[in-house]
């Protein structure tokens, strides 16, 4: 099962939405949830490319959260586990991969660049199905 297939799975999308909604609203039930959105992931890579470093930091934070959500799904038996060390060297490598993808294809969404980066990590480091 590829990461793309996992993320296209409706259960996976629901879980990612839950994580994003909780982060955005702090678990508040007083407000109605907005429609499904990917936040910064819904921005074109061109926007990422043109952003100052402070804004790029928010994009990088978004993709780290996206990766964490994918790995959290493995705890519920959904999808795959991707070995994603959070140390700064590995994080810089992932950032560099995303930068390269966005520079080469500014017309794609940032979430698509993040998914492609995850596929690169899987090819390099491997993955396993959670049991």
Give the pLDDT of residue 18. 47
CA dist 129 and 14 (Å) reads 20
Residue 67: predicted pLDDT: 82
Contact 110, 44 (CB under 8 A): yes
The pLDDT tens digits for 71-122 are 777 666 666 666 666 677 888 888 999 999 999 999 999 999 999 998 888 7
Of the candidates 104, 6, 38, the one whose C-alpha atom is nearest the C-alpha of residue 96 is: 104
Roughly how many angstroms between the first and final C-alpha of the chain, as a whole number?
Answer: 14
Per the prediction, the chain carries an average pLDDT of 73
User: How many CA atoms lie less than 13 Å away from 3 in the CB half-sphere?
Assistant: 24
pTM exceeding the 0.85 threshold for the entire prediction: no
Residue 39 has what pLDDT?
84
Going by C-beta distance under 8 Å and a sequence separation of 6 or more, which residues neighbour residue 131?
Answer: 77
d(CA 4, CA 118): 9
């Amino acid at each position: 099962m590829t990461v793309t297939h996992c993320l296209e799975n409706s259960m996976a999308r629901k879980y990612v939405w839950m994580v994003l909604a909780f982060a955005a609203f702090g678990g508040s039930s007083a407000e109605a949830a907005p429609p499904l959105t990917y936040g910064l992931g819904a921005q074109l890579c061109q926007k990422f490319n043109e952003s100052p470093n402070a804004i790029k930091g928010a994009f990088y934070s978004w993709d780290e959260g996206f990766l964490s959500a994918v790995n959290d799904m493995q705890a519920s038996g959904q999808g795959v586990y991707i070995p994603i060390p959070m140390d700064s060297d590995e994080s810089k490598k992932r950032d560099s991969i995303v930068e390269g993808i966005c520079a080469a294809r500014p017309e794609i969404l940032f979430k698509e660049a993040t998914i492609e980066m995850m596929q690169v990590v899987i090819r390099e480091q491997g993955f396993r199905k959670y049991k």
